[in-house]
Amino acid sequence: MKCFYHHERDAVGICKSCGKGLCQECSIDLGKGLACRDHCENDAKAVIELIERNIKLTSRAESNLAAGHRIRNGTAVFNLVIGVVFLGWGIADSNRLPLLIVLGFFFIVYAIFLFSQAKKKTISN
């Protein structure tokens, strides 16, 4: 590849902003990429800052997803415990509180559903 500005010179890299091939004289090293000297420096710096910000946000998003899995599992455990309590209470006093048996059953079924969803998301990640 040849330099965009000096067609007889070989390029040493590509501008981070415009993508043009640059020779040593036409390029400026910004640390994490090259830019056209006196043309694209500010734009290339902005691109580099945007990439760095996205990397930071990605790591935050991944930690938030991990926290979300813990919350889902906690919700499933809570529903399971409530379901067992309602089911046990309804069975112990089945004459007066048949609704508790039904509620307990549904809480347990919902807890199983939540556990299965959390497991699917863990496997897919």
Helices (H) and strands (E) counted in the chain, each on its own, are 2, 4
Cβ-contact 48, 32 below 8 angstroms? yes
The confidence band for 119, taking pLDDT boundaries of 50, 70 and 90, is: low
Look at the block and give the residue holding tokens 């529903």.
Answer: 79
- Percent of the chain at pLDDT exceeding 70: 82
Render pLDDT for 46-72 as a digit per residue (tens, 0 to 9): 998 988 888 777 777 676 666 656 667
pLDDT at 98 (0 to 100): 81
Cβ-contact 47, 17 below 8 angstroms? yes
Burial class for 28, CB neighbours closer than 10 Å (0-12, 13-18, 19+): middle
Cβ-contact 107, 79 below 8 angstroms? yes
Record the pTM: 0.47
Cβ-contact 21, 2 below 8 angstroms? yes
Render pLDDT for 72-91 as a digit per residue (tens, 0 to 9): 778 888 999 999 999 888 88
Q: Supply 21's token pair.
A: 């091939």
Mean pLDDT of 4-30: 91
Look at the block and give the residue holding tokens 């990439």.
Answer: 51
